[in-house]
Amino acid sequence: MPIVNDSDRPLHRLPGLDHRTVAGASQGVRSFEVWKQTLAPGAASPVHRHACDEVIVVLSGSGECMVEGQTRAFAAGDTIIVPPDVVHQIVNTGSEAIHLVAALGAAPVRVCDESGRHMPLPWDEPSTSPNQ
């Protein structure tokens, strides 16, 4: 049974967004991934979609989630559920960082833009499936 210290996982930094994949293909997880992310005040994830469920647990902070053109506010203690292939974005509208944990129902997760074109991300892991 592997026990992985999150701080031992690579930290990927995009403008306003810190990302760690804490469980995924490189840890032997084949059917899902778990991500930890921090969004700085005013920052946003890219508008994107992926062909798997995503469950986002908001640990701290507040913001808005856009899902298929509808925007809803969220705060610490909320869970955001995004169905497969739905265009979405997380925006930090608050004055403190958002800390979240996301579980995604694929490994590796292939992230695409609104039109379905693959968006290469710094934390992409090599595909282990011919269908990815």
Q: What pLDDT score was predicted for residue 28?
A: 85
Nearest Cα to 35, choosing from 125, 113, 129?
Answer: 125
28's tokens: 């032997």
**Which superfamily does 11-112 belong to?**
Jelly Rolls (2.60.120.10)
**Domain spans of the chain, in order of start:** 11-112
Q: Write the DSSP symbol of residue 73.
A: E
Identify each DSSP E strand in the chain by its residue range: 12-14, 17-23, 33-39, 49-50, 54-60, 62-67, 70-75, 79-82, 88-91, 98-104, 111-112
65's tokens: 């989630």
Q: What is the pLDDT along the chain (132 residues), one digit of tens a residue?
A: 678 898 888 999 999 999 999 998 888 888 999 999 999 999 999 999 999 999 999 999 999 999 988 999 999 999 999 999 999 999 999 999 999 999 999 888 889 888 889 888 778 765 443 333
